[in-house]
Structure 1
Amino acid sequence: MARHFGLADLPDTLPIFPISEALLLPRGRLPLNVFEPRYLAMFDDALKTGRRLVGMIQPAGDGDPPALRDVGCAGRIVSFSETEDGRYLVVLAGICRFSPAEELDGFTPYRRVRPDWSRWRRDLGPQEADDGFDRPKFLFLLKRYFSAAGLSTDWDSLKEADEEMLVNSLAMLCPFSAEEKQALLEAEMLGDRRASLIALMEFAIASHGEDGSLQ
């Protein structure tokens, strides 16, 4: 049964999984293949808690350890299995974005932060609507982008998906750069993310020698 989180349910300490180009958004689903011992330990520990939360955040730079981006997203472990060779196959459900206010010292092999949830509390509310969403124009551009990028999809399912699921799923799954995925994560509202997604697709189409402008 799905668990609903309020602001008071979110923890003061959050284990983090810093992976470049891995994007999780509120109410999105992110599959993970976990094999490093420190992160196997992190998921073991997270599964022992009632919340089962892990913070997905992109690293910034090449330091050791690398600095962290300004915004990440906490996900709840909703599916878990172990392979014969000891890997964990995990699915995270996006709960709420956070800003890492402070990195915490400790004896765990993985990194932990004190998350600031306050800016992103709207993530805990109902599914977002996008009143400016024009599905036919958006899907027309999307087909051109997929053609330029050599991608395929189930177009019938995209025609039926609600705007939040459609925009967020594409933001998570399309092969954008780490910087581009971070911009999509930090978009305040669904309409902002949709506008950024359109701009990224138009740029990708134009880079293949075609005018991708969505008028």
Structure 2
Amino acid sequence: MFKAADLPEIVPIFPLPGALLLPRARLPLHIFEPRYLAMLDDALKTRDRLIAMIQPAVHGHGGEDALHQIGCAGRITQFSETEDGRYMVTLSGISRFRVEQELSGFQPYRRCQVHWQDFSRDLGGVEKDSSFDRESFLLLLQRFFESRQLSTDWDNLEEADDELLINSLSMMLEFQPEDKQALLEAPSLTTRRETLVTLMEFALRGGTQEDLIQ
């Protein structure tokens, strides 16, 4: 179990639009760019083996190189190398963080100084959603899957605990990067579930991202 005081102040940053990692969830990654191969090699040499996932900010809000201020760090728990030198990696989510500043250096990848204090809840046990109406949620989810011609193992979904169900769907379902950021920044599991419901209901009504922002 990690403690906030044990987490590093400087982390390697992997800015990937639309990719969402949440605490206690797992994110598979396919790493092949030379700079991120170097990042992975360096991370594997550290005690914590952390890589910080973060969304690039929307164009027009600080430039194309800008980053959102909140991301989530994950520990490399599985990796394998292909014959052509690429890596298949699994990150296990540890905690969200807030960026203090981006650092310059000789590394080919980006690094940021971060703090973890705002997200101490991430380092605790599995979170519960006390007001979760699972039956109505699964009915909405079924409509959403049917509208997109998606299939899933419904038995596993019905048996999954609240956090695993809500967080896995938040990571898996295709939404706009800004929507993914809203799911990441949700202060509680209940808020994340409410946000997820809003996004699914809005998509089923045929709304656009611009309509949702308004």
> Which category of TM-score, normalised to the shorter sequence, fits these structures?
over 0.9
Query: Please, what TM-score do these two structures have when normalized by structure 2?
Result: 0.93
2:100 paired residue number: 101
Q: 1:65 to 1:145 in 2, by over 3 A?
A: closer
The counterpart of 2:31, out of the listed 17, 34, 48, is: 34
Which segments of structure 1 move beyond 3 Å, counting only runs of 4 or more?
61-65
Q: Please tell me whether residue 57 in structure 1 is matched to residue 54 in structure 2.
A: yes
1:10 paired residue number: 7
1:65 positional shift: 6.1
Give the counterpart letter for 2:112 in structure 1: V
User: How do 1:48-197 residues align onto structure 2 when only pairs under 5 Å count?
Assistant: 48-62=45-59, 66-197=65-196
SS at match of 1:96: strand
What root-mean-square deviation, in Å, do the aligned CA atoms of Structure 1 and Structure 2 show? 1.2
Listed one character per residue, the Cα deviations across residues 148-189 of structure 1 (whole Å, up to 9, x for unaligned) are: 122110000001000000000000000111011000000000
Query: Please, what TM-score do these two structures have when normalized by structure 1?
Result: 0.93
SS at match of 1:68: coil
Give the counterpart letter for 1:96 in structure 2: S
SS at match of 2:53: strand
User: Distance in 1 between the 2:174 and 2:108 partners?
Assistant: 30
User: Unaligned 5+ residue runs, structure 2?
Assistant: 208-214
Give the counterpart letter for 2:189 in structure 1: L
1:61 positional shift: 3.6
Equivalent residues of 2:128, 2:162 under 8 A apart: yes
1:64 positional shift: 7.3
Equivalent residues of 2:98, 2:116 under 8 A apart: yes
User: Distance in 2 between the 1:39 and 1:57 partners?
Assistant: 14
User: Distance in 2 between the 1:59 and 1:197 partners?
Assistant: 21
User: Unaligned 5+ residue runs, structure 1?
Assistant: 209-215
Q: How many residues align?
A: 205
Bigger mean CA offset, 65-74 vs 37-46:
65-74
Q: Please tell me whether residue 20 in structure 1 is matched to residue 17 in structure 2.
A: yes
